Structure 1
Amino acid sequence: MFLSFSEKMTNASNIDLFTLSGFSATTNYRGTLFSLTLLCYCAILVVNVSLSLTIILDQGLHEPMYILVCNLCINGLYGTVAFYPKFCFDLLSDKHVISYVGCFLQVFVIYTYATIDFSILALMAYDRYVAICRPLEYHLIMSARRTTLLVSVAWIIPILCEVLILSLTSRLKLCGSRIQKLYCENWSIVKLACTSTIANNIAGLIVVSFYCGHVLFIVCTYAQVVKSAIKSKESRKKFTQTCVPHLLCLFNVTAALLFDIMYSRYGSASVSQSLKNFMAIQFLMMPPVLNPLIYGLILTKIRYRMATLCTTAGESSGQFTGYH
């Protein structure tokens, strides 16, 4: 079934390969960039896997807020796997190409990752609103069943949105195969079309508006949280401990995506390719590294559990070595 769909996409465009021209600016420092990229990806794997396993293995962390943090980390792993391995390979290669189907798959994973991030952050804002503004009803509203349902929706809706966008893009007749980026991006493909892209523009505007609505929802939610938090010392403490890291993550993701949107939509020919590349990969570098660090360092309960697990693992390893 997937093969037949990929054949239809390829036949619709008569293009088998895309060229990623963003690598033209990396020629003189490939080795250094490869080392830094590999180091960054290893850091992403370590911090996200560590935090995810800590939450999954510790029954005391099976609460809505920590479950959402775990999903944020899993999503970071999901999104970056579509970029870093391919990017590292391209840095060591003289040909920077990607297949038509591979390009669409990369677009799908990277942009579902970005939108899932916003969905989870919106849920985290709602969770903090209920915890601080309606504490007596918290366990009733954020029950295990409802949390599971909300998390499922946070993953399913972005996937459906991206399927719609890519379905429209796959029908376009393309008159070029040169993508001015380090990875495949939907708008870059649409700009290669030599047929009408009105449907793509309308669908894209609807999806962007939908996720701008997420940001508005988060802002309004936190306005209510701040209003409630200033009324009591306990609420202020809870806000500082649990909401500040969430706001830092929100700013982190929003700023990184803003860089990418500015580059994709309004990129100027006068801007150097190196700066364009830096702007384009911000949301694939900063959030996956900083989000788990922010939560791991600021949230006392997670920090304590991680330290306990590391200490226990170290003691077990020492006992095992001593036994032998």
Structure 2
Amino acid sequence: MGNSTQIVSFVLAMYGNIGNLKYLYFTLAMLLYTLVIFTNTVLIVIIYVDRNLHEPMYLFLCSLFANEIYGSTSMLPCIMTQLLSETHEISAFSCFLQIFSIHTYAAIEYANLAIMAYDRYVCICKPLHYNVIITKRRVRQTIVAIWILCFVEVGVLLSFTVRLKLCGNIINKVSCDNHLVVKLSCSLDTTVSLIHDLVFGLIFVVAVPTCFISFTYIKILAVCIKFSQETREKAFSTCIPHLISLINFVFGCFYELITQRFDMTFVPYPLRVVSDMYLMTCQPLLSPIMYGLKLSKIRHACKHYFTHENVITSELLEFCHFK
């Protein structure tokens, strides 16, 4: 066991062997970040200015798109900076801030997907009561509650990590990671931090939303069996974007947990670098593409606004004036 010191910075070791490929990775990261910001922002603006989209489902989507921007911003700008850095160091404050942002992104994402599954369940299984159960006020309250609870929970998680005495500062990843920081601790007893990390990761973030989502889709399938073929296809079509987004996110989280806890040196280096970025790049880019292409109302709204010159600007000004 080494001597503990006051850690003022961490070294992100995964950048060490990139060499001249850093310019390629930088270009890809910048392109991905630009696409994520552009696609998610455009859809938020379209939902905001189009009164036909002021429905509970699209309000949940706005929360989802805002979270995609938040999540990608917590990681990609840092990656681009590190790629052009010679030392690949990140201050302790910035590292813990990044951990906080990445964990809150994951928690908010899954909670959003869970509540969206419930929205689809009420819409398909209890259509006559939908406007009574899913009101705009309840949607806004739910969205605010999700963000606040996730921020508080991750804050508690990180409070255990910040207090640990560390005997090293090398993180073998392209971004800061709570589990890997805990493993740098000099203390023989990191049980509390590891248990809280496990409880947060597997129970709060994964298990509870998964059970909730599974319950809603079992109910949806049970009801859809009684529908006609045409009605069944229409019901499933509204769920497809959500299911694809959900499966991709769960896969990304599962892969992230595996790479944190097992030796992955057998995986080719370039693939490890790309896979480290998967969750925070693929999901934020996939969500707006899936919902923008699959949901007819959003697709038609996009077509309308992008085929009429200056219509977004004029309607946004009109809407703001009206408000």
TM-score by length of 2: 0.91
**Alignment of structure 1 residues 133-172 onto 2, 5 Å:** 133-172=125-164
Percent of aligned pairs sharing the same letter: 36
Task: State the match for 1:294 in structure 2.
Answer: 290
Offset at residue 178 of structure 1 (A): 0.4
Task: State the match for 1:202 in structure 2.
Answer: 195
Match of 1:19, SS state, is strand
Offset at residue 267 of structure 1 (A): 2.9
Structure 1 unpaired stretches of 5+: 1-11, 318-324
Task: State the match for 1:247 in structure 2.
Answer: 243
> More displaced, 296-305 or 140-149?
140-149
Offset at residue 235 of structure 1 (A): 4.2
Picking from 300, 303, 306, the partner of 2:302 is 306
1:71 matched to 2:63: yes
Task: State the match for 2:73 in structure 1.
Answer: 81
Give the residue type in structure 2 aligned to 1:250: L
1:236-265 deviation per Cα after TM superposition (whole angstroms, max 9, x unaligned): 144222111100000111111112111111
**Alignment of structure 1 residues 24-63 onto 2, 5 Å:** 24-63=16-55
In 1, are the aligned partners of 2:46 and 2:312 still within 8 Å (CA)?
Answer: no
Cα distance in 1 for partners of 2:92, 2:243 equals 38
Task: State the match for 2:208 in structure 1.
Answer: 213
Structure 2 unpaired stretches of 5+: 314-323
Give the residue type in structure 2 aligned to 1:282: Y
**Alignment of structure 1 residues 172-183 onto 2, 5 Å:** 172-183=164-175
Root-mean-square deviation over aligned CA pairs = 1.7
Match of 2:20, SS state, is helix
Offset at residue 277 of structure 1 (A): 2.1
Cα distance in 2 for partners of 1:316, 1:250 equals 30
How many equivalent pairs are there?
306
Cα distance in 2 for partners of 1:213, 1:307 equals 38
Offset at residue 307 of structure 1 (A): 1.0
**Alignment of structure 1 residues 262-277 onto 2, 5 Å:** 262-277=258-273
> More displaced, 256-265 or 182-191?
256-265
In 1, are the aligned partners of 2:182 and 2:190 still within 8 Å (CA)?
Answer: yes
Offset at residue 280 of structure 1 (A): 1.8
Offset at residue 13 of structure 1 (A): 5.8
Task: State the match for 1:8 in structure 2.
Answer: none
Match of 1:83, SS state, is helix
Cα distance in 1 for partners of 2:8, 2:256 equals 26
Cα distance in 1 for partners of 2:234, 2:128 equals 15
TM-score by length of 1: 0.90
Alpha-carbon spacing, 1:279–1:131, altered in 2? closer, same or farther (3 Å)? same
Cα distance in 1 for partners of 2:312, 2:212 equals 46
Alpha-carbon spacing, 1:236–1:39, altered in 2? closer, same or farther (3 Å)? same
1:226 matched to 2:221: yes
